[in-house]
Amino acid sequence: MTHFLMRERSHDPFDILFRDFFNSNANFNTLNEVKHPHPVDIFEDPQGLHFEIACTGLSKEDINIDIEGDILKVSYSRPKGDDTPDSEDRTYLAKSIARRSFNLGYKVATRFDLTQATASMQAGLLHISIPFAEASKPRSLKIK
């Protein structure tokens, strides 16, 4: 929200440069080139690691989930020229639903078992659950 407010007030290129100088994530973009991160919640509970990824307007067939070693990759590529939701006969008063491609990648710690990961879609959210690896669960050792 702060970023939005700063964008509204800072129109001068010097203001943008000055603002972005103190922003460690900035690439010194102009106002038209600001990249918005894709909405993702990542949390851990007693069952393991969980990802909730916003996929508004997408079906499960649209999304690719790949596991390569300890990397979890989630992506969607919007077809070129696909303006299905946007129609030429519409006059938008507000347009803020993101319908853009995304390509997310996460390195998952070895204490989680990516081979046992599960995924489901519900109410526009992609849920990915990764349980703890057996080797990382608490255990007791017997003294010899």
Residue 88 lies in a domain: no
Amino acid type, 15: D
97-109: pLDDT as tens digits: 777 889 999 999 9
Q: Containing domain of residue 14, as a range?
A: 1-36
What pTM does this model have?
0.65
Same structural domain, 16 and 71? no
Residue 111 lies in a domain: yes
Beta bridge partners of 107: 71
Same structural domain, 42 and 69? yes
DSSP strand pairing (48-54 vs 40-45): antiparallel
Same structural domain, 64 and 6? no
pLDDT band at 24 (very low <50, low <70, confident <90, very high): low
Same structural domain, 63 and 112? yes
Q: Which two tokens stand for residue 85?
A: 């939701």
CA distances from 68 to 10, 50, 76, 86 (A): 42, 18, 17, 35
CATH code, domain with 105? 2.60.40.790
Residue 46 lies in a domain: yes
Contacts of 121 (CB under 8 A, 6+ apart): 55, 59, 60, 63, 127
Residue 2 lies in a domain: yes
Same structural domain, 55 and 118? yes
Same structural domain, 108 and 61? yes
For residues 110 and 136, is the Cβ–Cβ distance under 8 A? Answer: yes
**For residue 133, what is the DSSP state?**
P
Q: Which two tokens stand for residue 56?
A: 């508004």
Residue 143 lies in a domain: no
At residue 136, the pLDDT reads 72
Residue 126 lies in a domain: yes
The number of residues in the chain equals 144
Per the model's pLDDT, the better-predicted residue between 18 and 102 turns out to be 102
Matching residue, tokens 């989630």: 74
Same structural domain, 31 and 42? no
H, E, C per residue of 72-102 = EEEEECCCCCCCCCCCCCCCCCCCCCCCCCE
- Judged by average pLDDT, the poorest of 18-27, 58-67, 131-140 is 18-27
